[in-house]
Structure 1
Amino acid sequence: MTSIKKVDIYKCIDFAHENELFDKLNSIYNTLPSGECTGCGKCCNESVGINLVEFINIYNYLKDKEKLRKESLDRILDYYFLEYIEKRCCPFRDENNRCLIYEVRPLNCRLFGHWKKDDYNKNLDNVTQRNKDYQELMKSKHGFDISDEVVNFKIKYCENFKPKKDYLDKATRLSFSDEIMTLDSRFFANEIIDIEFRDRGIVEYFIESLLHQNVAYNIKLRVSKDEKIRERTINRLKRILIR
């Protein structure tokens, strides 16, 4: 059983259409500032945090694109189950550094580059420290090391991106996030979906649409510890889950 049931996802899609939530989400996206990007793809190297309405929007975008959906799920499974072993790029970045879901990319992707440098670097330091703390926890609790490459990986501040206006302060960035969270609240207030309200990355949302959170995490721990079963287990999951 999955954490996020497919039937509930489709209920969310129907609800979003009926209540114009996708249109409202796009209206928020359209208010974001623009800028000049070189398209290097260096920022596309993590499972960015997204809101429920953004996941539903992306899922809706992929549901009728069978080839893209299956290819994306294949990379999502690799990203999640190899996350402690090696650093991989975002599952939605292709070999030419293009975003495969650019039209529906989430808020955090759209805001990258708009941060003030000091804000960005302070946040980056906090992320790195949390990674190191988590590495120590996993070593003491489960007896294995998360790869140093993964723990110490940093998406450095982009000096090449140039906003058309000013860089955004923290309060302004959070105001956009608050607007999208208001859309999220509509699903919960109307009891359209029954899942735990917590932070998830784009990879985690898709994984929980395929497997129960606890099952997925236990498999992740097992393949992270045992190289012999890693490839076999992941390939088996792909055969079962990607349809």
Structure 2
Amino acid sequence: MRNDLDTLFAAIDQAFKTVQQAHPEAVACGKGCSDCCHAVFDVSEVEAVNLLEHFQRLAPSVREQIRGAAQESLQAWEHAMASRLDPAVARIRCPLLDEHGLCLCYEARPVNCRTYGIPTVIDGKGHVCGLSGFEPGTSYPTVNLASLQRVLYDLSVQLAGEDKGAKRWPIAAVILNLPG
């Protein structure tokens, strides 16, 4: 299962790199850019387990700082969901984002983070980063998120069974559900 997730992440990273090389003027991603770190999304069980493994390797003081940020992030998530805000436009700071705009668990970042800066489609609707230079009406290589989410679902069910494998959580909830 671990190898399957690593293989999926490598394929996504390669797809991102391919689009970035073909359209360097349109991909705005770079070190310190954190637009995707304010997007509202949840993660699969397999992504959550992977994030927790990386999170647990951080220094205790850093983990405590992240837990504090996760409390705020989870409250914002709960408010957004209760208010029925459109997740595509809602903004919540990821608790894994440091003060320099860098991800503290970058190697373990979920699929949505890995694909954010290039054109994606899910349920027939296209999405691009608001900072990108991709022009509406122009055809670009596009990543199908539904197929990636299906792979994550299958890996999650293999890992945790049907009930738990089908669930998804905001990153803040993943961080806060760590044992002591």
C-alpha RMSD of matched pairs (Å): 3.0
CA distance in 2, matches of 1:116, 1:47: 15
Residue 185, structure 1, aligned to residue 165, structure 2: no
Normalising by structure 2, what TM-score? 0.68
Given candidates 143, 148, 157, the residue that maps to 2:130 is 157
Quote how far apart the aligned CAs of 1:116 are. 5.2
Residue 198, structure 1, aligned to residue 147, structure 2: no
SS in 2 for 1:119: strand
Q: Deviations over 1:188-210 (max 9, x none)?
A: 33x8xx64833322223334x26
Match of 1:168 in 2: 142
Quote how far apart the aligned CAs of 1:79 are. 1.4
Quote how far apart the aligned CAs of 1:25 are. 0.5
CA distance in 2, matches of 1:179, 1:196: 12
Match of 1:104 in 2: 108
Q: Compared with structure 1, are the counterparts of its residues 63 and 38 closer, same or farther at alpha carbon in structure 2 (3 Å cutoff)?
A: closer
| Higher share of residues assigned helix | 1
Match of 1:150 in 2: none
Could you list the runs of 5+ residues in structure 2 that have no partner in the other structure? 21-26, 81-90, 135-139
The answer to whether the 8 Å contact 2:41/2:170 transfers is yes
Match of 2:86 in 1: none
Match of 1:91 in 2: 95
Match of 1:81 in 2: 75
Number of aligned positions between the proteins: 148
| Paired residues for 1:1-243 under 5 Å | 21-32=1-12, 33=15, 34=17, 35=20, 36=27, 37-39=29-31, 40-65=33-58, 66-83=60-77, 84=79, 88-115=92-119, 119-120=126-127, 157-160=130-133, 166-169=140-143, 172-189=144-161, 195=164, 197-207=166-176, 209=177, 243=180
Larger Rg: 1
The answer to whether the 8 Å contact 1:38/1:160 transfers is no
Normalising by structure 1, what TM-score? 0.52
% identity of equivalent residues:
20
The answer to whether the 8 Å contact 2:74/2:170 transfers is no
The answer to whether the 8 Å contact 2:47/2:110 transfers is yes
Q: Deviations over 1:162-216 (max 9, x none)?
A: xxxx4315xx332222222211111233x8xx64833322223334x26xxxxxx
Q: Compared with structure 1, are the counterparts of its residues 196 and 55 closer, same or farther at alpha carbon in structure 2 (3 Å cutoff)?
A: closer
